Each structure stands twice: as structure tokens, then as C-alpha cells.
Amino acid sequence: MRIRSACFTLTLAALVAGCSGRQAPSPHEAHAATNNAPLRTKNMDPVKGQAATCSGPREKTFNIDVIEQNVDLGMGTSFAAWTYNGRIPAPTLEACEGDQVTINLNNKGTTAHGLDTHALMIDARHYSAIMPGKSMTMVKTADTPGVFMYHCASGPVTDLHIKSGIHGAMIVYPRKEQLRPAREIVVVEDAIYGDRDEEGFIPGTNPVKAQKNDESFSMFNGRMDNDAVRVNPGDLVRMYFINVGPGVASAHVIGTVLDRVYDGKTPLYGVQTYGVPAGGGAILEFYIPEEGVYPFVDHDKLAYLSYGLALPFATGDVSGMGH
């Protein structure tokens, strides 16, 4: 499969050329002058954030439909997917530590589907698959802050369902510890296991490729054509990152160092690349040190750069970016 993107060629050119922008103030000086508006990619809504989520009602209800439909992946490619709410990745679920979470799942598909969220400690039988036309509800308190994967649970064929598009991020914000002001974004790394036909259509997951973890390509947030994310020098970016797989994601931002990484209770400081296993997540915080381009990549999957597996964070003074 060959996919060419003129836009991405420009992105690479910008990366190679580097930036000759003016000297920026130090990150901490500049930070006070920048806004903290959330960031987004075309496939993912901005987060509501800790303040809005934790100041709201302590009961959170999420209604999710399983929908089997074609999804546009960008670069002239579409995929006969299985989804939550018609989207890859699924909508981000946001709750606050201590919230009572209710998830209502409606199976509008043609085969059995379920839901497993890593954020809730609950009898795993509550995740079990339900038949088409059926609904199920799970209720549980979200006890552990962090960013968690959630995905389809369908017994022995769960792997096929996750790889067919049914996966997303669930954020549980800490209730007492106030997070630093930052520009927040959700990034889910996932992959497609199937080949395009002449029209660019992938008619579903190839089970043999899926079983071997032999992806056709990997993506961030379900797109191969993500626009550059606009930031300012000095911005602190907080990325809620989930790795669906295959394999460990080597999460790295070219041109900066991860200021803090949250994976469990104790933060790590000054990390160049952080490994996030399939089925795992981590909160990655990094500063935009000066004018320029800072692509988020999986350093173990740089071979997929030409399929769009790079999410550039770029300041406004950089030309030749975006689509």
C-alpha cells in the first residue's frame, strides 16, 4: 500500500529545515502570557478538563452506542469499522476521582459487543458482550486518577473488536491535587489491519494480520492526515495518551523533553521517551521551548511517518505546516 501526501512532505521539509524564529523567553516566563485553551485534532473533541469535571455533579453518565459503519481515515482511505458512537477513537470519557460512573451501552451492531474500561475496578463479567439490539449498564465509583483505555469486550474475539476500531480514552481527574495550568489534548495511538482496494477502501480487519500484530499502518487519533496543532512558545502541553497497540509505544516529542510523566502515583521528571504498553496510558507534559515545530511520534514506529504517524505541535510563525 502506498499513500503519498504533499502536505506531509512539507511537514518533513519543515522538520529538516528547522526553525530560525526569534529567541523565545524561557518556558516559565512565557507561560504566564499564554492561554490555556485546550487543543484538539480533527477527530477528537477538546477535553472539558479537571475544573469543569470535578466541580460538576458527582454522578457521571455516559451513553454509548456500538455502531458498525465506514469511517474516513484520511489520505483517501476509509475503513469498514466497528465503533463506539461512530468514531475512531471513541469519545473521551471524563470523570473526577470519587465520581459514581454509569455507562449505558447500546448494541446497534450486527454482532455481540461489550465494554471494558480500565478505569473501573469491577467484576469483569459486567464487561461481557451483549447481543445486537440489547443494552447493558455498569455503575461503579472511579477510584484511581489517570488516563485509561476503554474498549470493546467480546470474549475470545475481543482482540479483533479492539483492532476494528472500538477503543478510546477515559480520564479520571484527581479531585484534590490541582493540575498545573496547561493546554490539554487527548492522543490515542491505534492501527489498522487490512489492505486498501483500488478505491482506498479497507473492507474490515484481516484476522490473520490482527492475530500476528501485523498492522498495515498506525495512526494518531484515527487519522493519517492530522493537521499541525497550533501552540505558542512557552506553552505547557498536557497530553492524555493511550496506546491501543500493537506493541509498546515509544512516546517522544521531537525537539523537547517530557517535563513530567504521570503513570501511576509518582511523576517522573525529565524523560526523553516514555514507553506505554498496549492497553496502557500515560499523562505526558512538555513545554514548547521556542518558536518551531515539535512533532509527537512513536519512536519505534518512525517507519510510519509517511502514513501520518506524527502529530506536529507548531507555533504560528512556522510556514509550510498543516493541510
CB of 80 to Cu ion, least distance (A): 14
Long-range contacts, stretch 203-211, CB < 8 angstroms, 24+ apart: 203/80, 204/79, 204/80, 204/164, 205/160, 205/163, 205/164, 207/160, 210/159, 210/160, 210/163, 211/159
Task: Tell me: does residue 152 bind Cu ion (CB under 5 A).
Answer: yes
Task: Tell me: does residue 223 bind Cu ion (CB under 5 A).
Answer: no
Q: One symbol per residue from 98 to 117: x for binding Cu ion (CB under 5 A), - otherwise; what is it?
A: ---------------x----
Task: Tell me: does residue 154 bind Cu ion (CB under 5 A).
Answer: yes
Residues 194, 64, 55, 146, CA torsion sign: negative
CB of 199 to Cu ion, least distance (A): 26
Which range of residues in 153-161, 200-208, 214-222, 295-303 is near Cu ion by CB under 5 A? 153-161
Backbone angles phi, psi at 31, to 5 degrees: -60, -35
CB of 100 to Cu ion, least distance (A): 25
Task: Tell me: does residue 226 bind Cu ion (CB under 5 A).
Answer: no
Task: Tell me: does residue 186 bind Cu ion (CB under 5 A).
Answer: no
Distance CA 323, CA 319 (A): 11
Task: Tell me: does residue 149 bind Cu ion (CB under 5 A).
Answer: no
**How is residue 165 annotated by DSSP?**
T
Beta carbon nearer to Cu ion, 161 or 163: 161
Task: Tell me: does residue 161 bind Cu ion (CB under 5 A).
Answer: yes
Task: Tell me: does residue 167 bind Cu ion (CB under 5 A).
Answer: no
Distance CA 299, CA 60 (A): 36
